[in-house]
Copies of this chain bind each other. A is one copy, B any other.
Amino acid sequence: MLYSKLFSKSLKNVKKYDSLNATLLQKGGFIDQVMAGVYSYLPLGLRVLRKIEHIVRSEMDAIGGQEILMPVLHPKKNWEKTNRWDNMDILFKLKGAGDKDFALGPTHEEIVTPLAQKMVFSYKDLPVVVYQIQDKFRNEPRAKSGILRGREFIMKDMYSFHTSEKDMDVFYEQVERAYETIWQRLGIDKITLKTYASGGSFSKYSHEYQTLCDTGEDIIYICDKCNVAINKEIVSEHKACIQCGNKDLTEKKAIEAGNIFKLKTKFSDAFNFKFTDKDGKEKGVEMGCFGLGVTRVMGILAECFNDDKGLIWPESVSPYKVHLIGLNLEDEEIKQKTFDVYEKLQSAGVDVLFDDRENMSAGEKFADADLVGITWRAVSSKRTGDKIEVKKRRDAEGKLMPIQDLLKMVAD
């Protein structure tokens, strides 16, 4: 992609937004705030989002999740059945033609449960696991954390259906491993902790995945003895580590990246969703729910990986792999050489953003590259001769090398 043609230029002088992630992502040209809590994703931002989605999707597929797509508009009657129409503050409600009542889905138990009920009859149809990557809505009174807590946001929500709690438990552990792999692929495994949280009315505990971050709005507690993480709600109740009883807990700020729940038969009961077991008896279907905030993860990466010059994307979700900067492009020979580098990278299947703007200083181009935060920066100029200067966004110093050496490092 030629930077000169890119729709979303980076902007040096944007106002300060409601959060670090919004400010950095607006500056880099990744998102545009339509109103508080509602954003457009620009070409660079959408590329990051799609790479995050790809990682999440591949790990959900790997544990047998089948992708579906459920709607945003939900009928009121489904939410009445689960007793949540009047009991969920953040539920957006609206009226359509003919005085029909709809909700905008903040979660999809109300849709997926009656759907699975049409497909599952006996123990032979179980377990079954479906998921979607889809737009969700929350009627937030104050949306002030950029894309970390939007009125509209994208989530991966997965729902599993089982014959027994035991079968549910086995799958729950598979999901834990899949989530660990996702954090690893996103480069946040070292700072993302499985954290004990309340199980709500239906289960003893659920788990949150909390990413440690100084700008986080959640508080978690880490047990100095057994290294377990526990959320605020649980600590207020137990005043100690729930695993070893230790009262020396270290307080940390964090952002919730995902949460996983055992729902037992709460929702299957609400819809009278039963299956016939091996013994011929009708039983309630055990359910699990596994959330992961896709736009939120993008926000977390922005909050965690940056410096005073801009964003620093993990390579797995970097909008492009290489940010090629052409200097002295007014010189025809150098221009030709630099376009050759661009084509060589593209022919090797490498994503490249090529800053082809003429009559612009090195300093301005470097500053833009730092704002955008692409993993590899390659500079071609009069000074670099028949080589290019390569540096990673994190590094201070670049290194002159032949184009072949860069290709070896970045080609998949």
Chain A interface (Cβ < 8 Å from any Cβ of B)? 5-9, 32, 34-35, 38-43, 45-46, 49, 64, 66-75, 92-94, 96-98, 104, 111, 115-116, 118-119, 128, 130, 135, 137, 139-141, 151-152
Pairwise interchain contact A8-B97, C-beta atoms closer than 8 A: no
In the assembly, what is the distance between CA of A141 and CA of B96, in Å? 8
In the assembly, what is the distance between CA of A275 and CA of B69, in Å? 41
- Tell me the nearest residue of chain B to A89, going by C-beta: B97
In the assembly, what is the distance between CA of A34 and CA of B72, in Å? 11
A75-B34, A119-B7 known; A151+B96 contact, CB < 8 A: yes
The one of B32, B94, B104, B116 in contact with A118, judged by C-beta atoms closer than 8 angstroms, is B32
In the assembly, what is the distance between CA of A8 and CA of B97, in Å? 31
Pairwise interchain contact B40-A115, C-beta atoms closer than 8 A: yes
Instruction: Give A11 Cβ to nearest chain B Cβ, in Å.
Output: 8
- Tell me the nearest residue of chain B to A37, going by C-beta: B73
The one of B6, B42, B94, B118 in contact with A92, judged by C-beta atoms closer than 8 angstroms, is B94
Sample 23 A-B pairs with CB under 8 A, ordered by A number. Answer: A5-B64, A5-B128, A7-B68, A7-B119, A7-B128, A9-B119, A34-B74, A38-B71, A40-B115, A41-B68, A41-B70, A42-B68, A43-B68, A46-B67, A46-B68, A46-B69, A71-B152, A72-B135, A72-B137, A92-B94, A96-B151, A97-B140, A135-B135
In the assembly, what is the distance between CA of A75 and CA of B151, in Å? 12
In the A-B complex, the 4 residue pairs with the closest CB atoms: A94-B94, A97-B141, A41-B69, A40-B70
Residues of B within 8 A of A118 (CB): 32
In the assembly, what is the distance between CA of A40 and CA of B116, in Å? 12
The one of B32, B34, B93, B141 in contact with A94, judged by C-beta atoms closer than 8 angstroms, is B93
Pairwise interchain contact B71-A40, C-beta atoms closer than 8 A: yes
Pairwise interchain contact A152-B115, C-beta atoms closer than 8 A: no
Residues of B within 8 A of A64 (CB): 5
Pairwise interchain contact B8-A119, C-beta atoms closer than 8 A: yes
Pairwise interchain contact B96-A139, C-beta atoms closer than 8 A: yes
In the assembly, what is the distance between CA of A296 and CA of B34, in Å? 28
Instruction: Give A8 Cβ to nearest chain B Cβ, in Å.
Output: 6
Identify which of A7, A45, A104 gathers the most chain B CB atoms within 10 Å of its CB: A7
In the assembly, what is the distance between CA of A71 and CA of B33, in Å? 10
In the assembly, what is the distance between CA of A39 and CA of B288, in Å? 23
In the assembly, what is the distance between CA of A115 and CA of B41, in Å? 11
- Tell me the nearest residue of chain B to A69, going by C-beta: B41
Residues of B within 8 A of A116 (CB): 7
Residues of B within 8 A of A43 (CB): 66-68, 130
Pairwise interchain contact B7-A130, C-beta atoms closer than 8 A: yes
In the assembly, what is the distance between CA of A40 and CA of B75, in Å? 13
Residues of B within 8 A of A93 (CB): 94
Instruction: Give A128 Cβ to nearest chain B Cβ, in Å.
Output: 6
In the assembly, what is the distance between CA of A71 and CA of B130, in Å? 25
Residues of B within 8 A of A7 (CB): 66, 68, 116, 119, 128, 130
